[in-house]
Amino acid sequence: MLSNMRFGINEIKTAGLLGLLSGLLVLGGYYLVGNEQGLIIGLVLAAFSSFGSWYYSDRAALASFQVQPLTQADAPELYNMVSSLSDRAEIPMPKLVVIPTQAPNAFATGRDPEHATIAVSKGILEVLTPEELEGVIAHEMTHIKNRDTLTQAVAGTVAGAITYLGQILSFGLLFGPVSRDTRQGQNPFGFLFLIVLAPLSASLIQLAISRTREFAADLGSAQITGNPTALANALEKLETISHQIPMRGNPTMVPLLIVNPLPRKGLQALFLTHPPTEERIRRLMEFAQQQSLTAAAI
């Protein structure tokens, strides 16, 4: 009951944050141009950003980490595991690729469950037990099933477009609004909004979306495998080792990973793409306790 309630709240929260992010882009277009034509520009940017991220995000993510094909002959046990979990999650079996690094991590990408890919690093295949790896794979499958791969791509692209609008203004590529009766210099709030407030707000909203989806995927993994403790143990291992072995790739793709490999010190902690691993583990263990109480009551 509690887990279903959390899932519903997460969905509402994500939808609200995406709407707020798109609203920032539309408002940014208005301030950049200086009149109602800017609203249209913002809407067009939001539409094109969403479509581009929907169709091309998986290619960008896979290229960023220089993944390599992983055949069934290469890893028959992994293929059997993924096939079984796909049946339990009621989604098509995703493609499998390997990230050529010892840094232990994994991610899922793709515009929908029919075009999904799960990437696992060489390191994660070596450090996790089969049960722990199953928990990680089920976590990524939940992202696919919930279409989080699309949500994250849209959020990242729209946030990037908002930042780009601010860069246009700050570098002087656009010197004034379209209308003659309005001047950029007469609206200092619009200037401040585009240069500072909008990009900062977009980044924070993007991070909030990412953190919300991670909690939901952890819960989904626990429900698919019936073993929340396995994922909790995996997260504990990954949190420790991922900071010892750096993960190379485009930093903008970090929200896709199951754990954030970047350090969290000082102000950096405010801009982490993932919720604290300790909190994720706590929630999983709470779910495991619920399972035990329910089993004992039957």
How many angstroms separate the CA atoms of 97 and 7, rounded? 29
DSSP 8-class letter at 195:
I
Which residues, in sequence order, are CB contacts of 29 under 8 Å at separation 6+? 38, 39, 40, 41, 42, 43, 45, 165
Per-residue pLDDT of the chain (298 residues; tens, 9 = 90+): 444 444 444 455 555 555 555 555 655 655 555 555 655 665 566 556 555 555 666 787 888 899 999 999 999 999 999 999 999 999 999 999 999 999 999 999 988 899 899 999 999 999 999 999 999 999 999 999 988 876 666 666 666 666 666 555 555 544 444 444 444 444 565 566 566 666 666 666 666 677 788 999 999 999 999 999 999 999 999 999 988 887 876 776 787 899 988 765 555 555 677 888 999 999 999 999 988 887 777 6
Q: How far apart are CA 33 and CA 102, in angstroms?
A: 48
Contacts of 43 (CB under 8 A, 6+ apart): 26, 29
For residues 101 and 120, the answer to whether their CB atoms sit within 8 Å is no
The whole model's pTM is what?
0.72
Predicted local distance difference test score (pLDDT) of residue 163: 62
Q: What is the pLDDT of residue 189?
A: 58
E strands present in the chain: 68-69, 95-99, 106-109, 117-121
pLDDT score for 177: 47
φ/ψ bin of 28: left (φ > 0), alpha (ψ from -120 to 50), beta (otherwise):
alpha
Catalytic residue among 134, 140, 214, 239: 140
Please give the pLDDT value at position 259.
Answer: 92
Distance between CA atoms of residues 190 and 149, nearest Å = 33
Q: Which residues contact 298 (CB under 8 A, 6 or more apart)?
A: none
Predicted pLDDT of residue 5: 44
Catalytic residue status for 140: yes
Structure confidence at residue 7 (pLDDT) = 45
pLDDT number for residue 273: 72
pLDDT at 49: 57
Q: What is the C-alpha to C-alpha distance for residues 298 and 287, in angstroms, rounded to an integer?
A: 17
